Amino acid sequence: MGTHELKALVITAPGINCDGELAHAFEAAGARAERVLLSALARDPSRIARADLIGLPGGFSFGDDIAAGRIMGALMRREVYPALRDAAARGVPMICPCNGFQIAVQAGLLPGPAGAARSNGAVGVKGTAGSTVPMGAAWPDEAAPASVALLQNQRARFVDRWTRVEIPSGTVCVWTHGLDCEAPDDMLPSAHGEGRFFTDAATMARLEAGGQIALRYSRDENFNGSMGAVAGICDPSGVIFGLMPHPERWTRWTQHPTWTRLSADQRQREPLGLRMFRQAVQWARTRELAPAARVPAAARG
């Protein structure tokens, strides 16, 4: 129906190094990706307003000195938080893998505003699991202080490995909601030194109740010691998705660690990483076509 090409904005900065594969993942899912330096974005935040999707890639922003994502988070808080907050309120899907997750947490973008969603009468949509997704939750004017953290892995060392993952059935995350990851080869790669999810009990309870836990490591695969085996979370509206694994690194089946063992049938199935991007692109397209009547991303299959 002649829709225009969706634009995915991939934000880079000194030390960001997964921007290439993130851009490719957006393109494989049908969007057009554009990479932009944070310094350029700070000069012209309106580029965020024109984006249909946003990616905050992994890497070692500013060397991950002090702590992972700390400096980049502090800069984003100052320079682009309002524009990103507005994008989230508009329902623009944003993915933040690995360092992106660490940055989003430090920049006050995740886990996002607490509690205010329903009281301010925001539009809610019905998720397939029956949860109500609060849209346009009230983001504070100033970035909130971090309320969750990604700490050093429990063995205090960088680890590269693929793990099985689970998607909580009640999640409101537009990236993962309803995706099937039951097959044994539905895995995701992780590569980080600081990925141990941590928060206080009250915040954890709120995230659980609000469907904001978007991804967990499967049982026995919680290699970094994350609280509740949490691998990824989203904001209350489900559009901003932060996760330690790298779905952008599994968009072709030859990237899978045991692809030489997969049958022809198994190779027919789209990789889990690509399915996440497709679902978000689909969401963005739907949002654009009918901004007033947002529908949840349909679970495929």
Partner 1 sequence: MAMMAEAETARASVTRIEVRAADGVGDPRGAALRARIAAAGLGVPTRVAHVAVYLIRGLDDAAVADRVARELLADPVTQRASVTAAEAPGTGAGARGGAGAAHRDGGTTARATCAVEVHPRPGVMDPAAESVRAAIAALTGADVEVRTGDRYEFDGMDAVAARAAVESLVANTVIHAVHDGAYHPADFVRGTPYQLRIREVKLMGLRDAELEKLSREAHLFLSLDEMRAVQAEYARLGREPREIELETIAQTWSEHCVHKTLKATVRYRPSGPDALVAATAEMRPGHEPQADGSVIIRNLLKSTVAAATHELIGRSPMLPGPGVDTQAKPIDWCLSVFSDNSGVIAFDESDAVCIKVETHNHPSAIEPYGGAATGIGGCIRDVIGTGRGAKPIAATDVFCVAHPVGTRVPRGCLPPSRVLPHVVAGVRDYGNRMGIPTLSGSVWFDDRYIGNPLVYCGCIGMMPRTHVKGQVLDGDVIVAVGGRTGRDGIHGATFSSAELTDTHADEFSHAVQIGNAITEKTLLDAILVMRDEAGGCLYRGLTDCGAGGFSSAVGEMGSEIGAEVHLERAPTKYDGLSPTEVWISEAQERMVLAVPPAALARVRAICADHGVECCELGTFGTPSREIILRWHGTEVGRLDCSFLHGGIPMPTRDAAWEPLWAREHSGLAGAVAEGGEIPRVGAAESIADALRALLSHPNIASKAWIIRQYDHEVQGTSVVKPLVGPGAGGPGDASVIAPKAGSVRGVGIACGLATGLAADPYVMGLAAIDECVRNLVCTGVDPSRIAILDNFCWPSCGDPRNLASLVRAAEACYDGAKAYRTPFVSGKDSLNNQFVAEGGRVIRIPPTLLITGMGIVSDVTRCVTMDAKGASSGDATVLVIVGETGMHLGGSHWSLVAGIDRDASLPMPRVDLERGPAVAAAVAKAIRSGFVRSAHDPSEGGLLVAAAEMAFAGGCGLRIDLRKVPLTRVARAAAELAHGGSGHAGASGGAGGATGVHTRAVAFAEDPSRYLLEVRERDLPGLRDALGDVPHATIGRFDDTGELVIDGGSAPERIGIDALRAAWESSWQA
Residues identified as active-site: 98, 246, 248
Both tokens assigned to 89: 């309120």
Nearer to partner 1, 14 or 170 (CB): 14
Nearer to partner 1, 59 or 112 (CB): 59
The full DSSP string for 59-114 is: B-GGGG-SSTTHHHHHHHHHHTHHHHHHHHHHT--EEEETHHHHHHHHTT-SS---
CA distance 182 to 164: 9
**Closest separation in Å from C-beta 27 to partner 1:** 8
**Closest separation in Å from C-beta 15 to partner 1:** 5
Q: Half-sphere exposure (CA, 13 Å, Cβ side) for 151?
A: 12
Q: Is the dihedral of CA 114, 118, 123, 126 positive or negative?
A: positive
CA distance 179 to 197: 22
Nearer to partner 1, 53 or 92 (CB): 53
**Closest separation in Å from C-beta 254 to partner 1:** 5
Phi, psi of 279 (to 5 degrees): -65, -40
**Closest separation in Å from C-beta 296 to partner 1:** 29
Nearer to partner 1, 252 or 269 (CB): 252
Residue numbers of the site for partner 1 (CB under 8 A)? 12, 14-15, 17-18, 20-21, 24-25, 37, 39-40, 58-60, 62-67, 70-71, 74-75, 78, 106, 145-149, 151-162, 189, 191, 196, 198-200, 246, 248-249, 251-252, 254-255, 257-258, 260-261, 263
DSSP-assigned beta bridge partners for residue 35? 10
Nearer to partner 1, 46 or 263 (CB): 263
CA distance 216 to 213: 8
DSSP-assigned beta bridge partners for residue 33? 8
CA distance 125 to 229: 27
Cis upstream peptide for 111 (omega within 30°)? yes
DSSP-assigned beta bridge partners for residue 164? 187
**Closest separation in Å from C-beta 288 to partner 1:** 26
Both tokens assigned to 98: 């690995």
